Structure 1
Amino acid sequence: MDVLIRQDLCDEEKGYIQKRLQVVGDCLRSHGIVCKPDEVPRVALLGSGGGERAHISFLGVLRQLGQDNLLDCFLYMAGVSGSTWAMSSLYADAHWSKNAKVTTSSVLKSISEGEDMDFSEGVQWLRKRYEEGDLSLSDAWGVMTCVIKGVPLETRTLSDEGSRDRDGANPYPLYSAIDRAFFDKDKAKRKELWFELSPHEAGFTEPGAFVKTSLLKQDFEGGRVKYSLKRKPMDMVQLQGICGNVFGDEKQNQKHILDWIKKSLLPRSQGEAAPLSGVLKIVMALVELVECHHNMDHCHTVLAKLKSVLGEDYGKFSTTLLELDHEMWTDMDDQKRKQHMENIFEELIGSAEEWGQELNNLNNKLTDVWWVIKHILPLFNEWQSGNVANFLYQINEPKVPEEMCKEDTMHLIDAGLFLNSPYPSVLREARDVDIIVSFDFSEDAPFKSLEGAWHYAAANQRAFPDIDFKALNPESDCPKSFYVFEEEGKPTVIHIPLFNIKNGKDEATIKQDWREYATFQMTYRGKKKIDHLADLAAENVNRDGILKEIRKAAERRKAKH
């Protein structure tokens, strides 16, 4: 079968890890920690979610780890959401960690000075996804991620990294997502939820169902690839759209995508000839209709505007709009209003060839905007995200729950909605991790992700140190910068909150930093603001504390042999 059911690691990861352990051993030796090859501690570096705040903070952390000659102490690097944005840019360089200060500084500079990506470039990428047949909102968000980062589209594939990074130069990268179908309120009991992606393999950590990353987008049936439709491997644009979409916050993601459309539309519209202005008003009204669908009163105002700009013939473009009057709207509840609004939107998109025919003949940026209006805006009604062919479709395997095999498409979304730090991937027994160094950039309480990891480990029989969270609660408003949790026979967990008593000095300053760097405050462009956040995060790198725990882990490994 092309689908593999097992808890062991793939041969390619094992080979990479053996080479990486040699690099780690050499680095530890430079710090006075001498280990035999089978005694080298396995240390994992974790970056949490947190949007652009996590993106910039993780870059600041990695820059400082490089300056302190600590990066090569890490065997794995795993990210969720905003931290994956940093990873995706850095791993474009096959040897980035060898000169981390230069590479991270270059990425930080691109954020502060980055210009908006060419709109047409983004639309061309979306058109290709549409032609493959599984376009979703995550793809639009992947394009938006590059806009936020101030970089061109990152179209290299994740599987390409697996074929060229053979010397163990960088920590082995692990990206994280979850399957929306299994995301529910009873999170801790869902064993099938977590989905990880590496350069070599992708799949569910439980029940241990994996495929080669290069095959991830292909159609499957019964555990085998169907080659009737050959798709290109997942590129980093789509990966970022999946790993960092935070589609649990519908309003925020919608706002940024719609703002991007409006920004691309309005400057052009101001210079268009008069006959086109009415059509552009209709287009803008459609964007506004999607934008305000949570506000039913405003929706009615937009519908009235549509009637006006469509003219006397508006009824032939939308029968629902023709039948709708103020009295009917007033008598309906919000659910019926929402349905009417969606019907009108769909009818106007369906009749766009008639009322928007002038746009179809334009060979410029406006035609790209028009394509987005027709193909991306309708996705907001369906709220489809993370569409990927389900490689477990109709597989007959006792270890795979039947409910995972029913649909031919799965929907991968931001893992931060379940657990905002990628603990599940490094807690796999086969990875045999000794130390987890977790930099937490979450906006929630400073121990929420840590507690979520503790619950996940308990529910899924993963080794994890016992933690007294009641004792930690008094420190929630003003946490320390470095926590160590250890228990014999279990991996040591080092937990590092972003804003703390060390870099924030007091509770008032910590609260001010959180207000200044809110999760959905995009896009950061000021160099001073970006540098300040990266520097604050860098202050949290406790070189001596990390090396102390590595020495202890090395002694434990030595005692086993």
Structure 2
Amino acid sequence: MSVVISQDISDPEKHFSKKRQSKIVEALKIHEILCPENDVPRVALLGSGGGQRAHIGFLGVIRQLGTEHLLGCMQYVAGVSGSTWCMSSLYQEPQWTQHAEEAANKALLSMSEQGEGVTFHDAVEWMKQRYEEGDFSLSDVWGVITCWIKGVSLETRPLMDDKDEKGASPYPLYSAIDKDHKEMWFEFSPHEVGFLEPGAYVKTSLLKRDFEGGKVKPHQPWQRKPMDMVQLQGICGCAMGDLQFIKDTIWHWIHSLSPVIKNARKDPDFTDKIDIVYILADLMENYSDPENSCSELERLKCLLGESYRDFSPTLQGVKLKSWRSQDRKKLVESITDELVASVDKWGPHPDQLLGINGIADVWWVMWHVMPKFFGWTFGTVANFLYKFQDDAIPKEMIQEEQMHLIDAGLYLNSPYPSALRTARDTDLIISFDFSDGDPFETLRVASDYAHKNSHPFPKGDFALDPGCPKSYYVFEERGKPTVIHIPLFNMDNCYDEESIEKERKEYRTFQMPYRDKTKINHLADLAAENVTMNRENILSEIKKAVQRRKHQK
């Protein structure tokens, strides 16, 4: 049987934990905290979601934790959504914690205009592979765009390669949820993946394989590669709650590739067709300019000819004389959707364009990526619980051959469930919260989750003033893990409510990717300041955790 029903952690994780504890003993000595391995506290570092803001903020936090020699005290690093972007980059090297400052600064620099990014051709080639595997979805596209936002090449190493048998770095835990069962927390680790409640897991190497009745099917219809970090980021880090943001970002990405499209326009046989793509991308990016967008619409009509009336009623109904006063964004989106849906009527199939000045890549995206918006399919993965019979598994979870995993932030924007997993015996949770809006919402939802699933969680006032939070909160209760909660923007690093609100507006979750180095560094420094200010507070709680371990004997 390949599917395991258990509340225990895997044997490889237990092996890692033992190795890691010996490393933590040495890290604690730096702070004059002496304890044998049996008394080593289990400390979990959590990073919340929040898109690029969370990515940059978590990099700033981890950089400063390295500077303060606190990173070595952590047993686990767990992330949701934007924080997983940070983790996926750092864990490229198993021993990255030994030079955390350098690794974090490299990732921050890549995000700026100095980053290399993803080439359009490499992106399309990776998506083609996923398409051939048979479960291609919009989350795969988002994984590619995540690498583009981060300014790095495609991170194609398999998740299971992030194994560290020597315990040199904290154990990485990534999170998602099931689209149809949002309270079913799904965890990815280098050794196993699965649902925390009810405790159904398979080896990470088997994820994406076809299952039936708890066993891997002997004959697979196609050979899928193990899940890589591009796919993982697409599932874990895609803000699927905002379809419009995803669409806008993808068109922004296409518009940023205008040099590729311009080069493709050199071919005289397909100039008109590729010009249509170029105009659509430009319209989605610059619809606010009434004169330019009006001119582009006229050119679009000419290129499409009279046939556009058959498949774009919105374009036919546009009144150019009143264009300035109309809702241009909405009209441009409707025109774009209609033309993408009818690409087969005005554009050649990609197979007809192989080798022609990169046109084939552009058309492949038009044919295979853009139509995904209409079905809005995402997070598609083979369901390892298909036809699996066990009373612990809800019947509706075993009926489909595929499952759909999405951004866990849509349910709980911080990976508390992973830290609260009973077998991990966590003593101290240090949660850095990069959420938008109420900075205490994750605490309330985590408390509800813990109560529902019988996990110990400290009581506290989780309805604090969201407008002027402090930089440090501790919630503790006998017999339960202590929780340290640190909001990103607070009265200690922003000084007043007006500044907090200003920073929140500047670093919104749903905005186009920013490359400005000054803006990136400012956010990372603000996040790092929360570590610097609270270094002694964090060490104090670690010392208390050591004492609690000793007294448990």
Shared fold (TM-score, shorter chain, > 0.5): yes
In the TM superposition, residue 199 of structure 1 has moved relative to its aligned partner by 0.4
1:401 pairs, out of 394, 399, 420, with 394
Question: Does 1:173 pair with 2:175?
Answer: no
* Counterpart amino acid of residue 380 in structure 2: N
In the TM superposition, residue 346 of structure 1 has moved relative to its aligned partner by 6.9
* Counterpart amino acid of residue 411 in structure 2: F
Aligned counterpart, 1:490: 480
Deviation sequence 1:64-117 (CA, Å, 0-9, x none): 111111111110000011111110000001100011111111111212221342
Aligned counterpart, 2:196: 205
In the TM superposition, residue 203 of structure 1 has moved relative to its aligned partner by 0.5
Deviation sequence 1:26-74 (CA, Å, 0-9, x none): 2112212222221111100000111111111111111111111111111
Aligned counterpart, 2:325: none
* Counterpart amino acid of residue 231 in structure 1: R
In the TM superposition, residue 358 of structure 1 has moved relative to its aligned partner by 11
In the TM superposition, residue 266 of structure 1 has moved relative to its aligned partner by 6.1
In the TM superposition, residue 462 of structure 1 has moved relative to its aligned partner by 1.0
In the TM superposition, residue 351 of structure 1 has moved relative to its aligned partner by 3.6
In the TM superposition, residue 206 of structure 1 has moved relative to its aligned partner by 0.5
Q: Secondary structure at the match of 1:533?
A: helix
Aligned counterpart, 2:181: 182
1:348 pairs, out of 311, 331, 342, with 342
Question: Does 1:99 pair with 2:99?
Answer: yes
1:487-526 matches, cutoff 5 A: 487-526=477-516
Aligned counterpart, 1:528: 518
Aligned counterpart, 1:552: 544
Runs of 5+ unmatched residues, structure 2: 287-292, 319-330
Cα gap change, 1:486/1:277 in structure 2, threshold over 3 Å: closer, same or farther? same
Question: Does 1:282 pair with 2:276?
Answer: yes
Name the CA distance, whole Å, in 2 between partners of 1:380 and 1:254: 8
Deviation sequence 1:496-546 (CA, Å, 0-9, x none): 000111111111111111122111233232222211111111111121111
Aligned counterpart, 2:328: none
Contact 1:79 1:421 in 2 (8 A): yes
* Counterpart amino acid of residue 126 in structure 1: M
In the TM superposition, residue 452 of structure 1 has moved relative to its aligned partner by 1.2
In the TM superposition, residue 478 of structure 1 has moved relative to its aligned partner by 1.1
Name the CA distance, whole Å, in 2 between partners of 1:46 and 1:326: 51
Cα gap change, 1:114/1:26 in structure 2, threshold over 3 Å: closer, same or farther? same
Bigger drift between 48-57 and 281-290 goes to 281-290
Q: Secondary structure at the match of 1:540?
A: helix
Cα gap change, 1:358/1:448 in structure 2, threshold over 3 Å: closer, same or farther? closer
Q: Secondary structure at the match of 2:78?
A: strand
Bigger drift between 34-43 and 424-433 goes to 34-43
Contact 1:481 1:496 in 2 (8 A): yes
* Counterpart amino acid of residue 180 in structure 1: K
Name the CA distance, whole Å, in 2 between partners of 1:173 and 1:326: 53
Bigger drift between 82-91 and 104-113 goes to 104-113
In the TM superposition, residue 359 of structure 1 has moved relative to its aligned partner by 6.7
Question: Does 1:467 pair with 2:460?
Answer: yes
Aligned counterpart, 1:187: none
* Counterpart amino acid of residue 311 in structure 1: G
Q: Secondary structure at the match of 1:445?
A: coil
Aligned counterpart, 2:133: 132
Name the CA distance, whole Å, in 1 between partners of 2:98 and 2:338: 56
Bigger drift between 283-292 and 219-228 goes to 283-292
In the TM superposition, residue 268 of structure 1 has moved relative to its aligned partner by 3.4
Contact 1:290 1:380 in 2 (8 A): no
* Counterpart amino acid of residue 272 in structure 2: G
**TM-score calculated relative to the size of structure 1:** 0.88
In the TM superposition, residue 405 of structure 1 has moved relative to its aligned partner by 0.6
1:30-429 matches, cutoff 5 A: 30-112=30-112, 113-162=114-163, 165-183=164-182, 190=183, 193-226=184-217, 227-228=219-220, 229-265=222-258, 268-269=261-262, 272=266, 276-284=270-278, 308-313=302-307, 345=339, 348-351=342-345, 360=353, 362-429=355-422
Deviation sequence 1:437-483 (CA, Å, 0-9, x none): 0000111211111111111111111110011234x23xx21111110
Name the CA distance, whole Å, in 1 between partners of 2:382 and 2:500: 44
1:7-26 matches, cutoff 5 A: 7-26=7-26
Contact 1:20 1:170 in 2 (8 A): yes
In the TM superposition, residue 140 of structure 1 has moved relative to its aligned partner by 0.5
Name the CA distance, whole Å, in 2 between partners of 1:353 and 1:520: 32
In the TM superposition, residue 321 of structure 1 has moved relative to its aligned partner by 5.3
In the TM superposition, residue 280 of structure 1 has moved relative to its aligned partner by 2.4
Name the CA distance, whole Å, in 2 between partners of 1:50 and 1:420: 8
* Counterpart amino acid of residue 46 in structure 1: L
Q: Secondary structure at the match of 1:411?
A: strand
Q: Secondary structure at the match of 1:436?
A: strand
* Counterpart amino acid of residue 142 in structure 1: G
Cα gap change, 1:35/1:343 in structure 2, threshold over 3 Å: closer, same or farther? closer
* Counterpart amino acid of residue 63 in structure 2: R
* Counterpart amino acid of residue 205 in structure 1: L
Contact 1:46 1:438 in 2 (8 A): yes
Name the CA distance, whole Å, in 2 between partners of 1:324 and 1:365: 28
Contact 2:191 2:203 in 1 (8 A): yes
Contact 1:276 1:358 in 2 (8 A): no
Question: Does 1:440 pair with 2:433?
Answer: yes
Identical pairs, percent: 53
* Counterpart amino acid of residue 176 in structure 1: S
Contact 1:254 1:291 in 2 (8 A): no
Q: Secondary structure at the match of 1:148?
A: helix
Q: Secondary structure at the match of 1:280?
A: helix
Aligned-pair RMSD on alpha carbons? 2.9
Deviation sequence 1:382-413 (CA, Å, 0-9, x none): 10011110100111111101011111111111
* Counterpart amino acid of residue 274 in structure 2: L
Contact 2:274 2:359 in 1 (8 A): no
Q: Secondary structure at the match of 1:502?
A: coil
Q: Secondary structure at the match of 1:484?
A: strand
Residue-pair matches, total: 530
Aligned counterpart, 2:289: none
Deviation sequence 1:141-174 (CA, Å, 0-9, x none): 0000110000011110110112xx1100000000
Cα gap change, 1:92/1:325 in structure 2, threshold over 3 Å: closer, same or farther? closer
Aligned counterpart, 1:332: none
Contact 1:148 1:522 in 2 (8 A): no
Contact 2:78 2:415 in 1 (8 A): yes
Name the CA distance, whole Å, in 1 between partners of 2:11 and 2:194: 15
Q: Secondary structure at the match of 2:270?
A: helix
In the TM superposition, residue 357 of structure 1 has moved relative to its aligned partner by 8.2
Name the CA distance, whole Å, in 2 between partners of 1:304 and 1:110: 39
* Counterpart amino acid of residue 469 in structure 2: P
* Counterpart amino acid of residue 45 in structure 1: L
Contact 1:286 1:345 in 2 (8 A): no
Cα gap change, 1:522/1:169 in structure 2, threshold over 3 Å: closer, same or farther? farther
Cα gap change, 1:320/1:99 in structure 2, threshold over 3 Å: closer, same or farther? closer
Runs of 5+ unmatched residues, structure 1: 184-189, 293-298, 328-336
Q: Secondary structure at the match of 2:371?
A: helix
* Counterpart amino acid of residue 169 in structure 1: A
Name the CA distance, whole Å, in 2 between partners of 1:289 and 1:238: 29
In the TM superposition, residue 419 of structure 1 has moved relative to its aligned partner by 0.7
Name the CA distance, whole Å, in 1 between partners of 2:536 and 2:416: 23
Q: Secondary structure at the match of 2:180?
A: helix
Bigger drift between 540-549 and 29-38 goes to 29-38
Cα gap change, 1:150/1:266 in structure 2, threshold over 3 Å: closer, same or farther? closer
* Counterpart amino acid of residue 40 in structure 1: V
Cα gap change, 1:325/1:54 in structure 2, threshold over 3 Å: closer, same or farther? closer
* Counterpart amino acid of residue 172 in structure 2: P
